[in-house]
Structure 1
Amino acid sequence: METLRNFGTTAPGVVAIAAFAAFAALACSDQGDVTTEPPPGSGGAGGLAGPGSGGAGGLAGPATSGSGATGGPSATDGSSGVVAGAGGSGGRPGTGEAGAGGMGATASGSSSSGGETRSMGCDGTTAPTSGRFSIDVGGTTREYILAVPDDYDSSRAYRLIFAWHPRGGSAEQVATGFGGGYYGLQNRADGSAIFVSPEGLDQGWANTGGRDIAFLRAMLDRLRAELCIDQSRIFSTGFSYGGMMSYAIGCAMGDVFRAIAPMSGALYSGCEEGDSPVAMWGAHGDADDVVPLDNGRTARDVFIERNHCDPQTTPTEPSPCVSYEGCDAGYPVVWCEFSGGHTMPSNFGESIWSFFSQF
């Protein structure tokens, strides 16, 4: 298995890259059980298949670019796209900070109502259907799977949730497995969210030269233009390499993402300098011998500092999770160290949805 390199700007904890080079591809059942792969050489080319099938080509749907031009227009800054939050006061417009009694918006859009920041795609006459799509990013074709609610209404602003696969996994694996799809979030969202499962290069998300963050920005431009998204409620989650990508997103795009939920991740995909707070729920096994716990703690500490949290914690559900005290209003940090190795906690779907849905 090749050694990872060129992770861009790194933060403390990158010394463990050598350990990560031994990353195992991960398998999952329909119930979301996760085990590590046999030694390199036995897994076969192409990584894991999605539960039950996972054949090349993934979900049915357009095989190329989907609707809309590559990249698509992005929302522009303007007073119509900045709101203080329903009933809120004291929040600084455009910063994402919460005012008293409300939640600040983080991004601009075509219009706003009820504390939302609505994207350019709201009230559109057409929208992509669920399926696999491709997009050109700097001359490289990248792919993602999109899941739009069956009763999608272009006048309603939806949460947008990105779910990133582990090393050796696939977009199809995330879209159909891990507790019922998108890490168990899709069935809990009950039609209130749009989901995206991107396809990684070289089995994951090394973010070499910032290529994966560029991919994310291109997807966001297109999705904002084509779908009705609440831009103040954009989220990211993932396990292992997917957790690393979620940490990288929190570092680079805290002004865009409302919250992240990395599992068994680290800063191996880079951490751009920045000071934008982002709410975080994180989990890591105390016996992880693939991504050491200390590397997960180092990543966690970046967001404890960004959100101005105190070192003191209080227990929170589910046990043994803790919540850091004194964080900026609206930007909590919850940390769950569980007994186990390089895997996901048993209650990951319920816990992540509970965290995301509070925003």
Structure 2
Amino acid sequence: MTEPAPPHRRPEENARHGRLAARPATPTAPGPTGLVPVPGPDREPPALVYAPAGGDGPYRLVVLLHGAGGSARQGLDLLLPLADAHRLLLLAPQATASSWDLIVEGFGRDVRRIDGLLDTLFAAYPVEGVALGGFSDGASYALSLGLTNGDLVDAVLAFSPGFAAPLVTHGRPRIFVSHGTDDRVLPVDPCSRRLVPRLRSLGHPVEYAEFTGGHEVPTPVRQRAVEWLTGPVRGR
């Protein structure tokens, strides 16, 4: 006889739907601090974890997703300079292909890998609050995965996203979106200027930061995003 599905996941929903099963728990052993490579299975590229040293209380976990053709290090660097000041536990996976599974072939391999990495972190670090963040294709994936898993993810940081395409949705995480007005890779008009109103119409609280610039994440935008993430939650 099969075990019943946990209450946070419907029986028919799994990694092929983008669903994450990992949940925060009491750590079984203290995790290392600083920059920590986490080897992937089957010789896959390692993920990177950064845990600030010192401090009391749980971390705010942010999973950071690189753009197409990028690296885990590029994902980590999105918020690394701000991690210590805001006690952010950063997890930067490496996509198993040139970009994230949803964009390449549909949810599956990367969802399972991220789920396993989350299980590892939850067993080693005290976590209060889980956010997804990313740039470009990573931002689109963060939005898609975040809307799918709003019962785990309470916030999404989407820097220059192209779209959001969840197959199922749970909860209503709050969302930060930034986009450059001169973006030539993912132009702002068909992307964020359409996406933000749609997200708001679905009931998501959205903070939108449009800036003069291209396909990039300027330092002031990163700072604003982290202050929004760690500051008081505003009403819708």
- TM class by shorter chain equals 0.7 to 0.9
From 139, 147, 168, the equivalent of 1:273 is 168
Q: Moved runs in structure 1, 4+ residues, more than 6 A? A: none
Are 2:39 and 1:134 aligned? yes
Residue type of the alignment partner of 1:265: P
Are 2:83 and 1:186 aligned? yes
Give the equivalent residue in structure 2 for 1:144.
Answer: 47
Give the equivalent residue in structure 2 for 1:324.
Answer: none
Are 2:94 and 1:199 aligned? yes
Give the equivalent residue in structure 1 for 2:221.
Answer: 348
Are 2:123 and 1:228 aligned? no
Alignment size in residue pairs? 210
Q: What secondary structure does 1:217 align onto? A: helix
Q: What secondary structure does 2:31 align onto? A: coil
Alpha carbon RMSD of aligned pairs, Å? 2.8
CA distance in 2 between counterparts of 1:108 and 1:163 reads 17
From 104, 108, 119, the equivalent of 2:25 is 119
Residue type of the alignment partner of 1:171: A
Give the superposition deviation at 1:214: 2.5
Give the superposition deviation at 1:119: 2.0
Aligned residue runs from structure 1 range 48-67, under 5 A: none
Give the equivalent residue in structure 2 for 1:169.
Answer: 70
Equivalent residues of 1:260, 1:278 under 8 A apart: yes
Give the superposition deviation at 1:187: 4.1
* Residue segments in structure 2 that go unaligned for 5+ positions in a row: 1-5, 9-20
Equivalent residues of 1:285, 1:342 under 8 A apart: yes
Give the equivalent residue in structure 1 for 2:144.
Answer: 248
Compared CA separation, residues 108 and 239, structure 1 to 2 (3 A): closer
CA distance in 2 between counterparts of 1:274 and 1:306 reads 11
Residue type of the alignment partner of 1:120: T
Q: What secondary structure does 1:209 align onto? A: coil
Equivalent residues of 1:247, 1:299 under 8 A apart: no
Compared CA separation, residues 276 and 334, structure 1 to 2 (3 A): same
CA distance in 2 between counterparts of 1:141 and 1:152 reads 33
Residue type of the alignment partner of 1:166: G
Q: Cα deviation per residue 1:107-159 (whole Å; 9 max; x = unaligned)?
A: 997xxxxxxxx6231xx3442454111244xx784631011222276xx3211
Give the superposition deviation at 1:298: 3.5
Moved more, 276-285 or 140-149: 140-149
Give the superposition deviation at 1:276: 1.5
Q: What secondary structure does 2:175 align onto? A: strand
Compared CA separation, residues 108 and 203, structure 1 to 2 (3 A): closer
Equivalent residues of 1:278, 1:303 under 8 A apart: no
Q: What secondary structure does 1:213 align onto? A: helix
Equivalent residues of 1:251, 1:272 under 8 A apart: no
| Structure with more helix by fraction | 2
Percent of aligned pairs with the same amino acid? 22
Compared CA separation, residues 247 and 187, structure 1 to 2 (3 A): same
TM-score by length of 1: 0.52
Compared CA separation, residues 187 and 151, structure 1 to 2 (3 A): closer
Give the superposition deviation at 1:160: 0.5
Compared CA separation, residues 164 and 260, structure 1 to 2 (3 A): same
Give the superposition deviation at 1:260: 0.7
Equivalent residues of 2:22, 2:116 under 8 A apart: no
CA distance in 1 between counterparts of 2:183 and 2:29 reads 49
* Residue segments in structure 1 that go unaligned for 5+ positions in a row: 1-75, 79-106, 110-117, 309-331
Q: What secondary structure does 1:347 align onto? A: helix
Moved more, 196-205 or 234-243: 196-205
CA distance in 2 between counterparts of 1:246 and 1:238 reads 6
Compared CA separation, residues 229 and 201, structure 1 to 2 (3 A): same
Q: What secondary structure does 1:226 align onto? A: coil
CA distance in 2 between counterparts of 1:222 and 1:298 reads 37
Give the superposition deviation at 1:210: 0.9
Compared CA separation, residues 134 and 301, structure 1 to 2 (3 A): farther
